[in-house]
Structure 1
Amino acid sequence: MNENQSEALRQVLPGKALTEQGLPKDAVQHCQEALVLYPDNADLWYQLGTTLLASQKLSEAAQALRQAIALQPNFAKAYNNLGGALKKQGLYEEAIRWYEKGLALCPDSAQLWYNLGTTLLTVPRLSEAAQALQQAITLKPDLAEAYTNLVIALIKMPRLPEAVKVLQQAIALKPNCAETHNNLGFALQSQGKAAEAIAAFDRAIMLKPTDPEIYNNRAQAILLSGNLARGFAEYKWRTKVNRYRRFYEGFDSLPRWGGENFAGKRLLVYDEQGFGDVLQFCRYLPLVKARGGSVQFSTKQPLLRLFANFPGIDELIEHTTEAIAQTQFELSVPLLSLPHIFGTTLQTIPASIPYLTADQHSIAAWRSNMNCSGTNLRVGLAWAGNPENIPGQIRTCGLKAMSPLAGIPGTTFYSLQTGAAANEANTAPPDMRLIDLTGNIADFADTAALIMNLDLVVSVDTAVAHLAGALGKPVWTLLPAAGEWRWLLARSDTPWYPTMRLFRQGTPGDWNSVMTAVARELRMLAAKAGMT
């Protein structure tokens, strides 16, 4: 080794030290100066790439790490960090290839298996992700993050019993981790094991008594068990959960209405969470009005026309920061706090229907476009939830899964599906007479008018089901095995909507048995309609 090479190698240690001291710019400079002297040193290129990665200079980091690998093809750590640089740039498939190359060299690296697993989870390639994360745990049983991500993969698949077992393993290794007990509660709740879930959340709260996320999760397990009074009382914690704070933070400085008479004052009841939540809980607004004063209701633009003549609303406001800033009011309350304020139990749910109506002129206009001559039964279909979150993905069955409904004599189907999944109507199952008028739907008022021209709505757990129930239309709601708290446990009916029937999966992911049951009931209904 010549003098220049020795100097280059001596530069590696100061570079590492500077990085550890939080001085990445100086570390980069050290590496670059050393590389001028010794451009063929893989360790220097690796140190440069790692430092650039820590500085979020991702493209430059990837370039340096590739150079390290070119010089030293068996450099497993470089493969790992190159995968990390690519993953952070959203180049997931390329990152996966480099992680796999690294594992070919170093199959016993728990970190490489973990990074491969989390990247596969992002893509998502769930089964492969679960295998990689399980291998990481096998190699390093105390790798807590691997358990967390493996549980996410198993829940998404969904393989809930396995998720519970993994969480129990994690608890055995680290019994005082509140997050693990919280995740166990969620997995148990998703299996409908409300009592066990509540016990897991109790333990998590004992370990971390100030975490609003855990209280919010326990509230939903309590609601699932049917104890609405206690569940809605604890559900106040949702307003403190970080990911929901955007719904409430603009109202923190204002007096919160607690149910008292407010004669002579203006009360703003404001929209929160999803469309389905608004459609379900707007039923409480007439009860609010009965306590006196002026009721203002802010909601999202697609709901405004639907609520134009809603009883109990004195002033309707679009739920935007600008519109609310221009509104004068003395009190405020989030919509989903109303069930607690009114002391709701299973026996006292305000369930008089319809509590929403559609405009008669709009109903007539939609009827003229229905094209349903020779039809005995008109059935609306919605087959997908929100693809951007796990619950929405689990609730989605897809139009193809509804194939058993095709070919029922005298039945015409109408798409009620919006969003990207609406395109599935273009490739309807064979023998399914499906008419798609959703291109003419501008908002929920249009959807309501279309539903009023139908005999039945068959929908996954999405806003369409809530709308049909609020309109008093017969609606069959298709539920995954991991049913949400509002549908309670093991019921085929719901106290929230008298005209709704629930069809539940027996096992996670099994939509076929659900559709078989729906098809059987629909055939009987169509036969009755044909006899009248």
Structure 2
Amino acid sequence: MTPTQKLNNEIFMIERALEAGRLEDAGRLLDRILKLDPKNPRANELYAYFLGASGESNKAFEQLKIACGLEGALPSALHELGRQYLYAGQFESAINYLEAALTRNGSFIGGLHDLGIAYALTGALQKAREAFENAYRLDPGSAEVVYNLGKVYDDLGMAEEAVKCYYDAVSIDPKMTSALINLGDVNVDLTHYEEAISNYDAALAVDSSLSDALVNRGVAFHIMKKFEEALSSFDQAILINKNCAGAHFNKALTLVSLERYQEGWKEYEWRWAYEKFTSPPRSFKSPLWLGAESLDGKSILIYSEQGLGDTIQFCRYLQILRGKVESIFVEVEQSLISTIESMNLGINVIKKGEVMPAHDYHCPMMSLPLALQQDQGRPPFPDKYLSASKELVSKWMARLGSSDIPRIGIVWRGSATHANDKNRSIALRELMSVLPEGYQYLSLQKEPTQDERMLLASNPMYLDYSIDISDFQDTAALVNCLDLVIGVDTSTIHLSSALGMRTWLLLSYVQDWRWSPDKEQSAWYSSMRILRQSVDQKWMPVLEQLKSEIRSFLEAYPKYDAEEKL
């Protein structure tokens, strides 16, 4: 036997000893080989595995780096070090070693799969897609590969491709609950709600304790307006895990949608523990106030959360709070400062991000209904609680001039970052196609695109003053000059309604919690009328209804006098 053959034979013996857990034998053989050939790549790699099996993980990791730094480092070592970096969250290093392993060994499924995961975790989704697709070509029967390819397709917005992958993964491994849950989530996005329910039920048939499946099934039931089934699903998740924030939070949304405010506002406090909640929790030296302590002679900080529309909707509660406390500080976004000041409550308004003044208590604005025990019946001040500046109204009236035809404000889309924006917004061209002639339409859209500006400018029926609107008080003054405001669910619609102006909300079938189901009126705003999408989620039937009702509605009501509305 040649020296090389003898060395290879001993390495083979070390591999078998490690596989069998005979660490003493492996250690003795490694010690001999490394003395004879200290730079042997395979022996150094096996020594790293020996250290790991001996419980010395840190030394094992360092030894693996040594093995990978040797001339002729093996693809298996490079792959393993890449995996170690991947598990440690050091994704760039992981990618470097995984790519090196693939370069030396050619394509192999383990390296491609791990590389896809590393790329996905760094947000390089197209590279992750390429890696997983290459792995899939090598082994289309791997449930894990097909599942992760589906996740990348899902993240890339390729919903149909994601669905196929998830179904394929489940056909390979019928008990892969993660694929079943993700399949349900994509089917919800595709509005295939019954299929989604079946997917969640299939996951729960495998493991009835899956709180994620129960929560997501409840959300699907909520969208379908099967509210009792939704509540039952959330309650099942809470029975399994009493601290399941997602179940409590989504239960709150269902309860408030049903105008069961007393239960709903209590559950809504779970939002701060929910990982998908859009506003990060705040930390203050002062204690949180939720109504238990007396505020006599005290000061309190109220701060906005979530969207601008939420602040406009919930600032009404400041009027009730004003009578219970010595002084109020309100922290809001710059664009809302003058609007809050217009309430004339003698409160101190602070721009979000500025240094906080000393205060005795703090409370998030959307916790005020709970803290003030405003949980019975209709929300307060549904008629009007905001006012426009007389000076600004006069300025806009002078700029607009007199008109013999009614003026209608329009807003067609919300913020693109809103989770439901793809459902709630309407294309401007589609809206304009149904608006009848004989009226003057004013754009109230925040930051219209260049294409939208050009489209408005091409039709003399439409006016666009968006470039001259600096904050919500400008918008409020302009709204005060109109006879009707029409729009999708946005902060501008909240503002118009809070001003007591006639407002028509064009509401998507997948709606926010604040608009009670199947009602034309809003519990929050007396002046609002709701035109709703049906279950088919098409806008054109809603717009055709809008077209047929604009003339008859405005003929039945006299034009507003802007001065009288102040």
TM-score of the two chains, using structure 1 as the length reference: 0.87
Counterparts of 2:274 and 2:50 in 1: how far apart (Å)? 39
Give the equivalent residue in structure 2 for 1:395. 424
Give the equivalent residue in structure 2 for 1:177. 210
* Greater mean alpha carbon deviation, residues 297-306 or residues 200-209: 297-306
Q: Is the 8 A contact 1:481 1:507 kept in 2?
A: yes
Give the equivalent residue in structure 1 for 2:64. 27
Counterparts of 2:422 and 2:202 in 1: how far apart (Å)? 27
Give the equivalent residue in structure 1 for 2:151. 118
Q: Is the 8 A contact 1:48 1:64 kept in 2?
A: yes
**Which has the higher Rg, Structure 1 or Structure 2?**
2
Aligned with 1:211 (options 236, 244, 268): 244
Q: 1:385 to 1:27 in 2, by over 3 A?
A: farther
Aligned with 2:515 (options 466, 473, 487): 487
Is the partner of 1:387 in helix, strand or coil? Answer: coil
Select the structure with the greater relative contact order (CA < 8 A; seq sep ≥ 6).
1
AA in 2 matched with 1:428? L
Give the equivalent residue in structure 2 for 1:477. 505
Q: 1:456 to 1:246 in 2, by over 3 A?
A: closer
- The Cα of 1:253 is off from its aligned counterpart by 4.4
AA in 2 matched with 1:339? P
* Greater mean alpha carbon deviation, residues 46-55 or residues 15-24: 15-24
Q: Is the 8 A contact 1:356 1:470 kept in 2?
A: yes
Q: What does 1:449-464 align with in structure 2 at a 5 Å threshold?
A: 449-464=477-492
Is the partner of 1:267 in helix, strand or coil? Answer: strand
Counterparts of 2:50 and 2:472 in 1: how far apart (Å)? 60
- The Cα of 1:207 is off from its aligned counterpart by 0.6
- The Cα of 1:248 is off from its aligned counterpart by 4.7
AA in 1 matched with 2:369? P
Q: 1:85 to 1:330 in 2, by over 3 A?
A: closer
Counterparts of 2:460 and 2:43 in 1: how far apart (Å)? 74
Aligned with 1:442 (options 470, 486, 497): 470
Q: 1:238 to 1:254 in 2, by over 3 A?
A: same
Q: Is the 8 A contact 2:44 2:66 kept in 1?
A: no
CA deviation profile, 1:344-371 (whole Å, cap 9, x unmatched): 3563421343211111221233344448
Q: What does 1:483-522 align with in structure 2 at a 5 Å threshold?
A: 483-507=511-535, 509-522=537-550
Q: Is the 8 A contact 2:302 2:363 kept in 1?
A: yes
Give structure 1 stretches of 5+ with no counterpart.
none
AA in 1 matched with 2:355? A
Counterparts of 2:278 and 2:463 in 1: how far apart (Å)? 41
Aligned with 2:388 (options 340, 346, 358): 358
Give the equivalent residue in structure 1 for 2:324. 291
The count of residues paired between Structure 1 and Structure 2 equals 522
- The Cα of 1:305 is off from its aligned counterpart by 1.0
- The Cα of 1:201 is off from its aligned counterpart by 0.9
Q: 1:431 to 1:128 in 2, by over 3 A?
A: farther
Is the partner of 2:145 in helix, strand or coil? Answer: helix
AA in 1 matched with 2:177? A
Counterparts of 1:46 and 1:147 in 2: how far apart (Å)? 30
Q: Is the 8 A contact 1:19 1:27 kept in 2?
A: no
AA in 1 matched with 2:540? N
Give structure 2 stretches of 5+ with no counterpart.
12-39, 561-566
CA-based RMSD = 3.2
Aligned with 1:323 (options 355, 358, 377): 355
Q: Does 1:98 align with 2:162?
A: no
Give the equivalent residue in structure 1 for 2:30. none
Give the equivalent residue in structure 1 for 2:452. 425
Counterparts of 1:27 and 1:520 in 2: how far apart (Å)? 74
- The Cα of 1:106 is off from its aligned counterpart by 1.0
Q: What does 1:163-242 align with in structure 2 at a 5 Å threshold?
A: 163-241=196-274
Q: Is the 8 A contact 1:479 1:502 kept in 2?
A: yes
Q: What does 1:127-166 align with in structure 2 at a 5 Å threshold?
A: 127-166=160-199
Q: Is the 8 A contact 1:303 1:443 kept in 2?
A: yes
Give the equivalent residue in structure 2 for 1:263. 296
AA in 1 matched with 2:252? A
CA deviation profile, 1:430-489 (whole Å, cap 9, x unmatched): 868433221222221122122222222222212111111101111111222222221111
Counterparts of 1:109 and 1:375 in 2: how far apart (Å)? 70
AA in 2 matched with 1:340? L
Counterparts of 1:442 and 1:343 in 2: how far apart (Å)? 36
Give the equivalent residue in structure 1 for 2:20. none
Q: Is the 8 A contact 2:154 2:162 kept in 1?
A: yes
Q: Is the 8 A contact 2:143 2:172 kept in 1?
A: yes
Counterparts of 1:254 and 1:26 in 2: how far apart (Å)? 51
CA deviation profile, 1:403-449 (whole Å, cap 9, x unmatched): 4424x111333222225x64451353886843322122222112212
* Greater mean alpha carbon deviation, residues 219-228 or residues 333-342: 333-342
Is the partner of 1:221 in helix, strand or coil? Answer: helix
* Greater mean alpha carbon deviation, residues 176-185 or residues 47-56: 47-56
Q: What does 1:342-381 align with in structure 2 at a 5 Å threshold?
A: 342-344=372-374, 347-370=377-400, 376-381=405-410
Aligned with 1:250 (options 283, 288, 291): 283
- The Cα of 1:48 is off from its aligned counterpart by 4.3
Q: What does 1:28-67 align with in structure 2 at a 5 Å threshold?
A: 28-33=65-70, 36=71, 38=72, 42-67=75-100
* Aligned-residue identity in percent: 25
Counterparts of 1:461 and 1:84 in 2: how far apart (Å)? 38
Q: 1:328 to 1:434 in 2, by over 3 A?
A: same
Q: 1:515 to 1:346 in 2, by over 3 A?
A: farther
AA in 2 matched with 1:96? R
Counterparts of 1:115 and 1:28 in 2: how far apart (Å)? 28
Counterparts of 1:459 and 1:193 in 2: how far apart (Å)? 27
Is the partner of 1:249 in helix, strand or coil? Answer: coil
AA in 1 matched with 2:138? L
Aligned with 1:337 (options 362, 367, 372): 367
AA in 2 matched with 1:32? G
Q: Does 1:305 align with 2:351?
A: no
